[in-house]
Amino acid sequence: MAIIRPRLNDFYDIPLTQEDADFAIPFLDEDVPLYLDPFLLWKSPSLQDNSLHTALINSFNHLGYLVQKGRDSEAVAVLIRASECCEVGLGMARDKHGVRIGSKLASSIVALFKNVPQIRDSGFTHFEEIQLLVDNVSKDRISDIACSFLKSFLVDFTIEQSERHGIPLSKTPVLSVYNYRNNQFNDEEGVYLPQNPETQEPILLVPKRWLRHIPWINYEDYFRSFYIKEVPERDRQPHRVAILNYNRHNYGMVQSYVARKKRAQEDCTNDPLFLPIPIRSAKRKLGTIRGLPTGKTDNADRKYEDHVCQLMASLLYPNLDFAAEQSRTDSGVLIRDLIFYNSRSMDFLQDIYNDYGSRQIVMELKNVHQVEREHINQLNRYLSDHFGRFGVIITRNRLPRRTFKNTIDLWAGQRKCIVALTDEDLSLMVSVFESKQRLPIEVLKKKYIAFIRACPA
């Protein structure tokens, strides 16, 4: 069965929602669009996280020790090796393979231990500062360097989480594990870790409490919220490279910025993979949906689909993790779908999995006054190809009697279940969402039960 945006647990058929996992669930064919932010380890109330941050900074500052001993080339080689950690699958790469930095960029970073007096004397307390001092260093590099120096811990964390959730482990070599005793990267053989089933490469899990979309200390924030305000206009540099040069020669500016970020540390929190929209936004989107005309007038169909996509992803979370929205063509008609991972997090979803083989749930959007038999048949053909035998049509009004009978016939003849959600159902889901007394997904469950009761015994 084809899976859209397959995750590690989906391949092994392990029911697990992102909400319940302590780590970012890895995708098999793309990266998770988050990054490890070392600042989250520094500000964490966990002694373990604080200790890991200390180890991370000490490891990075060892490059400065090598520089002081005249071993610059060795420091450059260590930094190059630390600059990519593909096992964690974090970032924006589509093929899960990044590229290490070159010797020129590594030399520029290592040179900070010579050229900036404060760093030469005391080292870094937050090595994310290199984004403010050297060009072509971005959030993905900060994340990869941190993951590389913390890889030994990540191996242990991955094994523990895999055993807890039943994720299969395989014997595999792990490259470039940092040894804190000799301050060197070593390759390890015979480590038991999850593997990507397509590439057989090892996978490392990362605590989601460490992840952000943008590091707390970053160049864009420094420029916008600090540099422009603190540097007199006559002294400002116009371009990024010039600003980085200015920072290296005026390192006190960087230190002041970091001190300011430390004072605001309570605002620094990890970013979830998905964040539901607020209740007010949900009510506003519902109002827009209900006010739209049916059909394509004034692009109403596209507006309807956009608002329903955002609304349903939030209403069904965390019981269903949103996988993707996609468009497909069926007999020349463009059709918009929502795809959810079936986490089997409640009895209703377990029944859908058991009875219809649905590891993912597809929802088709129809901004029409009346759903016709051809609409049901479109979804019916799609279910037979990909998603098991359960699907949902989200539309404006109740199915006409003859169309509803068509769905009953499909169940009787092929054991396929197609349930319709209408504007009224969306309104009820938003009301439940607002009250917080029950779960919005129970509206879908109610419609499913009503459908099954209408089917022949």
Three-class secondary structure of residue 76 per DSSP:
helix
What distance in Å separates the CA atoms of residue 161 and residue 207, rounded to the nearest whole number?
A: 10
Half-sphere exposure of residue 94: CA atoms within 13 angstroms, side-chain side: 0
Nearest to 59 by CA among 36, 79, 86: 79
What per-residue confidence (pLDDT) applies to 32? Answer: 94
What distance in Å separates the CA atoms of residue 394 and residue 443, rounded to the nearest whole number?
A: 13
Residue 395 clears pLDDT 80, i.e. is over it: yes
What distance in Å separates the CA atoms of residue 425 and residue 448, rounded to the nearest whole number?
A: 12
Share of the chain above pLDDT 90, in %: 87
Half-sphere exposure of residue 354: CA atoms within 13 angstroms, side-chain side: 7
What per-residue confidence (pLDDT) applies to 385? Answer: 61
List pLDDT tens digits, range 139-179.
999 999 999 999 999 999 999 999 999 999 999 999 999 99
Give backbone dihedrals phi and psi of 383, rounded to 5 degrees, phi first. -60, -40
- Its pTM surpasses 0.75: yes
CA dihedral 237, 243, 249, 251 (to 10 degrees): 120
CA dihedral 127, 130, 133, 139 (to 10 degrees): -140
Residue 333: which pLDDT band, with cuts at 50, 70 and 90? low
Q: Which residues contact 237 (CB under 8 A, 6 or more apart)?
A: 243, 245, 246
List pLDDT tens digits, range 76-132.
999 999 999 999 999 987 666 778 999 999 999 999 999 999 999 999 999 999 999
Q: Omega before 318 cis (within 30°)?
A: yes
Q: Which domains does the chain show, CATH number per domain?
A: 8-267 (no CATH), 279-454 (3.40.91.50)
Contact 39, 218 (CB under 8 A): no
What per-residue confidence (pLDDT) applies to 233? Answer: 85
What distance in Å separates the CA atoms of residue 255 and residue 122, rounded to the nearest whole number?
A: 12
Share of the chain above pLDDT 70, in %: 97
